[in-house]
A and B are shown apart, each in its own frame.
Chain A
Amino acid sequence: MDVKRQVTIERVSPAVAGNGTPVEKAVDPDLGTAVIPVERYISHEFMKLEWEHVWTKVWLLGGRSDDIPEPGDYICTDIGKESVLIVRQHDGSVKAFYNVCLHRGNRLRPEGIGKGAENFRCMYHHWTYGLDGAIEHIPDLSSFPQGCPPAGRIQPLPAGEWGSFVWFSLNPDVEPLADYLHPVNSHLSPYHFERMRLVRDITVEWNCNWKASVDAFNESYHVQGIHPQLMWYLDDVNLQIDCYGRHNRYLIPFGTISPRKDLPSQIPPPIQFMMQKAGMDPADWDGPMTGIRKAIQRHMRQFGHKKGRDYSELNDDQLTDDYHYMIFPNVTLNTHADDLMLFRQRPHPEDPDKMLYDIWVFELPDAETEDPNAEYRRPKHQHFKYGDKSIGLVLDQDAFNLPNVQKGMHSSGFPGLWLGEQELRIRHFHKVIDDYLAAGGVQ
Chain B
Amino acid sequence: MTTRPEPPVAHDDPPRFLPRAELDRLFGALRATGRTVIGPTIREQAVTYDQIDGTDDLPIGWTADTAPGTYRLTRNDGVRAFDYGIGPTAWKRYTHPPRIPLTVSAPSPVGPTVAPVTPDAPPLAFVGVRACELAALRIQERVMRAGPAGDVDHAARRDAALVVAVECAVAGSTCFCTSMGTGPEVGEGADIVLSELDEGFVVRAESGPGQVVVDALRVDAASDDQTGRATAQVAELRETMGDPVPTAGLPERLRAAIDHPHWAEIAERCLACTNCTLVCPTCFCTSVGVASDLDGQAATTDRTWDSCFSLGFGRVAGDANFRPRVADRYRQWLTHKFSTWWDQFGSSGCVGCGRCIAWCPVGIDVRAELLAVAPPHAPAGPIPWPVAPPDGHAPAPLATVEPARYVETEVTDVRRETNDTVTLRLATDDAALLAAQPGQFVMVAQPAQSAPPISISRILPDALELTIRHVGPATASLTAARPGGRFALRGPMGRPWPIDEARGRDVVIVAGGIGLAPLRPVLDAVLRDRPRFGAVRIFHGARTPADRLFVPELAALAGRVDVEFAEIVDRAGPDWFGRVGVVTQLFEHATWAGAGATAFICGPDRMMQATVRGLAAHGLSADRTWVTLERNMACGVGLCGHCQLGPYFVCRDGPVFSVAELGDAFTTEGL
Report if A and B associate in a common complex: no
Give residues in B with beta carbon < 8 Å to A: none
B-binding residues in A (CB < 8 A): none
